Structure 1
Amino acid sequence: FIDEALRAYEHPGIVFRPGPTGRRAALSGGPDVWEVVAALTAVRDEDPALDEEPLLLELSNVTGLTPAQVGVVLRYYAAYPEEIDERIALNREVADREEQLWAAQQKLLRKRKP
């Protein structure tokens, strides 16, 4: 908690929330930092030619955040990229596992022909 308090002080607008996968950095009153960074990656992948200002505007449009809020998130990510990248990877693994379980469940529920 001390580390989180210091980080929140260093990055105004960032808070820490509990969750099933542990505590995570989030924008106060907004999404988790990892969600915005994942959206940034998706926007970049969709249009790699975007320069800084158009990229920030598109990210604002996609997330519904103001450019200032996006700036808060990106500043935190610049300071702690490993933490956020790890969270993104963990969420991707969980999503993949859940998809596999869903597919297995659907296979079990399908009617078998005699």
Structure 2
Amino acid sequence: MTVQTPSPYPNPSGAPEQIAFDRSELGVILSLYGRAVAAGEWRDYGMSFLRDVAVFSIFRRAAEVPIYRIEKRPALRAKQGQYAVIGQQGQVLRRGHDLRQVLRVLERKLIRAVE
């Protein structure tokens, strides 16, 4: 009798899975990003796709730390929601199950900055 241990890599290729934003999620994020760029508030972004989290980082200038991070953590889907907006100092500005609702915190900041 042989005992098989579960593989840490569940997909057949042997590589670890990555969490990523799907096309509709990226559409929502990039729509907000485009409005902020047009308003002159944001100037650059970066994306990271890791095993447990996908991160869309927003920068005021390319050489800075991100002013906001939009995170997707599917492990939190059943608990507090898989989407979160994180501020520059690491504070959670908003967390939830619906990406559009979570991004409203950034839309409000954008509206105040443009007025």
Shorter-chain TM range is under 0.3
After TM superposition, the score normalised by the length of structure 2 is: 0.25
Which structure features the higher share of helix residues? 1
For the pair shown, which has the larger CA radius of gyration, 1 or 2? 1
After TM superposition, the score normalised by the length of structure 1 is: 0.25
Which structure features the higher share of strand residues? 2
Larger RCO, structures 1/2 (Cα 8 Å, 6+ apart): 1
